[in-house]
Amino acid sequence: MTGRVLYDGWPLIHAPLSAAAWHLRTLLALNPKDVQPILALPTEPEVASVANGFETTFSHVHDRGEWEQRSLQRLAMEHKANLIHSTSLAASLFGKIPTLISPAELEAGNRSRIGEALGRGGLARATILWPEDLPAIKLPREVKTLPPVVHPDFSMGATTHSLDLNLPDEFLLVDGIPSEEAAFQLLESWTWAAASIGELYPLVITNVSDSTQKFLLARLPEFHVEESVRLITQIIAKDIPGLYQKCAALVHLGNPAPWGNPLRNALSCGKAIVAQNEPSTEAIVSSAGYLISKEDLRGFGAAMITVVVDEKAREKLEDAAKDWAAHWSEMKFKGGLMEIYGASG
């Protein structure tokens, strides 16, 4: 028996729609049977509604550096956990409890300079779990690979939460925009597509930061696309799989996070993808999407048109998505994770 694993629940409270939060939910949903999970949350018990069905511990900490450097270690010792498993890009530099990191963030932000430096130093002592379909990375510690996996709610045919979002019948989904620059690129590309498909296939955008939301709202009229772009801000995590099941295709900008990213969610739902051509994106998507250079804004718009107008092309991409995702195995992931837990704890 491996024992008890403390899971870092920071993203469930502070970024519930993020890739980190979705990968954490996946880890909990696919928890190996011989592991006793403990979910650590940086909040008060009475406001935490994300922990149903799991043993949960709480510490009301506002500073992420303090949470990662001290609180998680203390909670792990109090609950006699053998391991800490996190989806962040930081770990305790001086902690005694071994830490596993499944990176589901692109950068270690939202920390003080000291917290970021300590967290980066702690990564050198942690074990990094990396998707086996992505290009290898160089880190101070040994990197262990696992098969790709998504949350079960993104599987084809999965029962999803009933949506009450007044969605259009058909739409292109944008789940997250990494920066204002990427938002500008999206709007510029959409101007090439909106006149042809915007009325029947609008863009539905969700999971953006407050600053990106303000940027979009200010510039939709400038680009004359306010009638063909729907920005959804009031949404909860359980609504997200339904958006994927209902959309015509996923539109993705920027680099994907290694775990929990929208590309894998779309593939698992059998959806076509239009994305910027990044090395990690190409490795994940393969032949299931139109991958366009980030500098080719007109080409990106043309790809959005093609994916909805050319039914044969879309069906070909959807078939490729289904075939690609069919190779992913929850059982292999759980088995590999259990081996790593056993060797680390």
pLDDT in tens, 221-233: 999 999 999 999 8
The angle, 0 to 180 degrees and rounded to 10, between the axes of the packed helices 297-309 and 180-197 is 50
pLDDT at position 158: 65
CA 271/CA 150 separation, integer angstroms? 14
Domain spans in the chain, listed from the N-terminal domain onward? 3-149+329-344, 172-325
pTM of the model: 0.94
Radius of gyration of the chain (CA): 20
| The dihedral sign for the CA sequence 312, 313, 318, 320 | positive
Three-class HEC string of the chain:
CCEEEEEECHHHHHCCCCHHHHHHHHHHHCCCCCEEEEEEECCCHHHCCCCCCCEEEECCCCCHHHHHHHHHHHHHHHCCCCEEEECCCCCCCCCCCCEEECCCCCCCCCCCHHHHHHHHHHHCCCEEEEECCCCCCCCCCCEEEECCCCCHHHCCCCCCCCCCCCCCCCCEEEECCCCHHHHHHHHHHHHHHHHHHCCCCCEEEECCCHHHHHHHHHHHHHHCCCCCEEEECCCCHHHHHHHHHHCCEEEECCCCCCCCCHHHHHHHCCCEEEEECCHHHHHHHCCCEEEECCCCHHHHHHHHHHHHHCHHHHHHHHHHHHHHHCCCCHHHHHHHHHHHHHHHC
| Structure token digits, residue 198 | 């915007």
pLDDT at position 8: 97
Domain 3-149+329-344 matches domain 172-325 at the CATH topology level? yes
CB 89 within 8 A of CB 136: no
CA 67/CA 89 separation, integer angstroms? 13
CA 29/CA 36 separation, integer angstroms? 12
pLDDT at position 78: 95
CA 36/CA 80 separation, integer angstroms? 11
CA 54/CA 24 separation, integer angstroms? 13
Identify the CA nearest to 223 among candidates 174, 183, 275, 254: 183
Which residues, given as ranges, of the chain have pLDDT below 50?
1
Beta-carbon contacts of residue 135 (< 8 Å; ≥ 6 apart): 279, 280, 283
The hierarchical CATH code for the domain 172-325 is 3.40.50.2000
pLDDT at position 1: 46
CB 197 within 8 A of CB 274: no
The hierarchical CATH code for the domain 3-149+329-344 is 3.40.50.11380
